[in-house]
């Protein structure tokens, strides 16, 4: 009797063990090194997801189907059907991370205003600086993933085509706020890049209450352009000894970081670009003045701001800009007429120079011909005398 019961348990247990093994096998690493149970809850069964690497079909196992159900569409893990699974399909290509391989916010145009002072302008004592600063590398990264970009502002600086900006050297936060009040209504950006506070430190302007001025600026931008997202930046370190602002920087940056936390708690469309820290800009990345970065430092700033914009996209902040007459989605396209006029003017100058050179050559030829005619006229009496007495030639 005991032996019979043992055999019965073995017969009943073997199928159960096989089912457990088969079912657990569906969660083994696939060819891409991802486990099926690690796909998360962001994919819905039967829905196609488009990524930078193609269309992906993801569906999850279901335990609602009877174990004896049959379905011609079931293709994956047939051995699981007895356990109630209907389908387990994983992606066949790697997943493209949104914001890096794909356009931000489904390709929304980015009308960007860079607000600040000399660092925003791209100033630096480094030889050969082009004053494009962080704007050119940032623009190139954004356009490379499919977003159109148009920098806006009342100033133009740098040798890039789309070089509009709203930044002036030496200004502190309150002045930047005043500049924004004049410039923002003219273009209504949907993305602000704010780098303010360095001159507050260098000029030692009420550092303990810096956050109040900075907050007033940020809230104005959000109110003046309601579809906007604001990227705020911690300010760069400094080892300059003329203005002695280093200690002030260490007081200002914590205020900016705390404001970023407040905005997050209040669910405002504001994100922080941390320019300092272990992977940020260090003293060694500054130019010889100890205040401004060189070309490599501006590249680092662009990377940090790009990461912040990607975060804004992930948090659903980016919105289409308000349509405005005369402001195109693509800043380079907006300058086409201007580039034509520049080319036309240069061509006119070249044509004028060519015409003057041609006229000088014509005048030279006229003078030479006149000289020849005069010389010929002076020789004519002798020629006449010779013709009248031909025998004198012998």
**Between the CA of residue 359 and those of 83, 144, 221, 355, 356, what are the distances in Å?**
96, 50, 59, 6, 5
Task: Report the number of distinct structural domains present in the chain.
Answer: 3
Domain finish residue from 332, 361, 384: 332
Residue 138: CA count within 13 A, CB half-sphere: 31
| Residues 150 and 281 placed together within one structural domain of the fold | yes
- Cα–Cα distance, 196 to 120 (Å, whole number): 9
CATH number of the domain enclosing 195: 3.40.50.1110
- Cα–Cα distance, 315 to 271 (Å, whole number): 9
Question: pLDDT tens-digit profile of 239-263?
Answer: 877 888 889 999 999 999 999 999 9
Residues 163 and 132 sit within 8 Å (Cβ to Cβ): yes
Question: pLDDT tens-digit profile of 156-213?
Answer: 999 999 999 999 999 999 999 999 999 999 999 999 999 999 999 999 999 999 999 9
Residue 12 falls inside a structural domain: no
Write out the residue range of the structural domain in which residue 28 sits.
22-96
| Residues 157 and 259 placed together within one structural domain of the fold | yes
- Cα–Cα distance, 249 to 207 (Å, whole number): 9
Q: If pLDDT is split at 50, 70 and 90, which confidence band does 128 have? A: confident
Domain finish residue from 315, 332, 349: 332
Residue 9 falls inside a structural domain: no
| Residues 287 and 364 placed together within one structural domain of the fold | no
* Residue 13 tokens, joined: 């247990």
In SS3 terms, 203-251 reads as: CCCCHHHHHHHHHHHHHHHHHHCCCCEEEEECCCCCCCCCCCCHHHHHH
pLDDT of the residue at 100? 60
| Residues 71 and 146 placed together within one structural domain of the fold | no
Residue 16 falls inside a structural domain: no
Q: If pLDDT is split at 50, 70 and 90, which confidence band does 337 have? A: confident
| Residues 47 and 137 placed together within one structural domain of the fold | no
């Amino acid at each position: 009797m005991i032996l019979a019961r043992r055999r019965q348990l073995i017969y009943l247990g073997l199928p159960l063990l096989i089912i457990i093994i088969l079912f657990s096998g569906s969660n083994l690493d696939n060819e891409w090194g991802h486990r099926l149970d690690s796909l998360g809850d962001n994919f819905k069964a039967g829905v196609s997801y488009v990524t930078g690497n193609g269309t992906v079909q993801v569906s999850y196992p279901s335990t609602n189907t009877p174990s004896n159900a049959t379905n011609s569409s079931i293709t994956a893990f047939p051995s699981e059907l007895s356990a109630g699974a209907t389908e387990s399909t994983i992606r066949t290509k790697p997943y493209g991370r949104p914001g890096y391989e794909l356009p931000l916010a489904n390709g929304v145009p980015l009308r960007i205003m860079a607000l600040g002072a000399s660092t925003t302008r791209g100033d630096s004592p480094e030889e050969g600086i082009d004053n494009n600063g962080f704007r050119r590398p940032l623009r190139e990264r954004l356009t490379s993933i499919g977003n159109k970009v148009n920098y806006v502002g009342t100033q133009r600086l740098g040798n890039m085509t789309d070089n509009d900006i709203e930044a002036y050297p030496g200004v502190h936060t309150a002045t930047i706020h005043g500049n924004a009040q004049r410039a923002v209504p003219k273009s209504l950006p949907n993305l602000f890049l704010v780098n303010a506070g360095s001159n507050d430190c260098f000029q030692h302007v009420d550092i303990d209450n810096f956050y109040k001025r900075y907050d007033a600026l940020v809230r104005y931008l959000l109110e003046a352009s309601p579809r906007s997202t604001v990227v705020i930046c911690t300010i760069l370190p400094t080892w300059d000894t003329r203005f002695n602002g280093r200690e002030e920087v260490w007081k200002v940056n914590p205020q900016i970081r705390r404001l970023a936390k407040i905005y997050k708690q209040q669910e405002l469309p504001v994100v922080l670009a941390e320019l300092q820290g272990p992977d940020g800009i260090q003293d060694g990345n500054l130019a010889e003045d100890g205040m401004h970065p060189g070309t490599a430092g501006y590249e680092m700033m662009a990377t940090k701001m790009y990461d912040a914009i990607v975060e804004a996209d992930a948090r659903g902040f980016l919105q289409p800009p308000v349509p405005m007459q005369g402001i195109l989605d693509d800043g380079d396209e907006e300058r086409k007429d201007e580039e034509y006029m520049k080319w036309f003017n240069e061509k006119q100058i070249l044509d004028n120079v060519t015409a003057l050179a041609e006229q000088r050559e014509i005048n030279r030829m006229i003078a030479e011909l006149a000289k020849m005619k005069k010389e010929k006229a002076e020789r004519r009496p002798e020629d006449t005398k010779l013709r009248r007495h031909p025998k004198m030639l012998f």
